Chain A
């Protein structure tokens, strides 16, 4: 978790430097990777806990962890389907401020 947070922070700093260097698309890709690393860290922690509980044959807790993983995936897929199934590329476009009608500092929400 410590290394993952560090890796995400490095990606965010890299994204900022690329943005200031005028390479907007590369910056967006790097920052999205940083966000993805952060989002995956708690999920990976659950996977590690699942493996640990399974190794100890602690079946009730194996079931609980699997239930949590299912609920997380359900929340993610529900949110994505409610957003109209927009492609990942939209995130890239929106993030660089090309969606018209956005507010002062950012782009229009789509969810």
Chain B
């Protein structure tokens, strides 16, 4: 990797990490298209590098969420059963699913993410107390900045677990944090407050990805030359995004984010149709 290429990847990962962190998504959704389309990286290698960067982003931002008491640890570990099971299914599918199909799935994920970005995340009214959530002692509370305590219940856990299984599957196959499924699982299905949803989803990303990432690393799929700038950029971007960009995240940033997602969806769709785009920028 030349100095120019290193700086390009570092800058891209930094922007992806910062934007993703500010808007509640992992940067993997940008890293894989950038590596495949601009760096000419084979899809499995891009997935492997992205998984490492996704773990890095998760680990970089998790301590702030934990310190703020936003992460529901019991719920996280319950959801991780579904996500790691999904990741195991995804690992079994690696090599079976053709690259063109993976490009197609990725394009769909980009388009759905763009729609989610434009519609925004809305807090929804909590449902009646859930028997499973109560039995597993998942209901919890957190303290807002103004000192008020927000209590919440966890509803419709089976539906949430089903979506989280899909999130784990997508994570292993595409190298992403799978916010595209985690957001509906936690916001819409389980009706969690958005802050709790973001913090808990963030914590599950690392556990979901670590088994697959270990396999890729030992198999030699993690291209170390690409990993250095991508991981360093992702870590720096996550910290910047969590601390600074959250304050300025507004409609303008959402529009830019949506346009980037749509712009990346076009060449990914073309690759799904056999165009074989990718090469030096």
Contacts and interface: CB of A to CB of B under 8 A. Distances in A.
A79 B212 contact: yes
A82 B225 contact: no
Contact of B91 (A5, A40, A79): A79
A41 B42 contact: no
Contacts of A64: 77-78, 81
B250 interface: no
B59 A4 contact: yes
A39 B220 contact: no
A76 B215 contact: yes
- The winner among B5, B60, B217 for most chain A CB atoms within 10 A is B217
How many chain B residues sit at the interface, stated as a range, is 35 or more
Interface in B205-243: 206-207, 209-229, 231-232, 235
Interface in A22-80: 27-28, 31-32, 34-36, 38-43, 45-46, 49, 60-61, 64-65, 67-68, 71-80
Interface in A58-111: 60-61, 64-65, 67-68, 71-80, 82-83, 86, 88, 90-91, 93-97, 103-111
A16 B10 CA distance: 12
B176 interface: no
A36 B88 contact: no
Contact of B228 (A12, A36, A88): A12
Interface residues of A, number: 63
Contact of A110 (B63, B84, B221, B232): B221
A68 B84 contact: yes
Interface of A: 1-2, 4-5, 8-9, 12-13, 15-16, 19, 27-28, 31-32, 34-36, 38-43, 45-46, 49, 60-61, 64-65, 67-68, 71-80, 82-83, 86, 88, 90-91, 93-97, 103-111
Interface of B: 1, 5-6, 39-45, 48, 52, 55-56, 58-60, 62-63, 66, 73-74, 77-78, 80-81, 84-85, 87-88, 91-92, 94-95, 136, 172, 203, 206-207, 209-229, 231-232, 235, 278-280
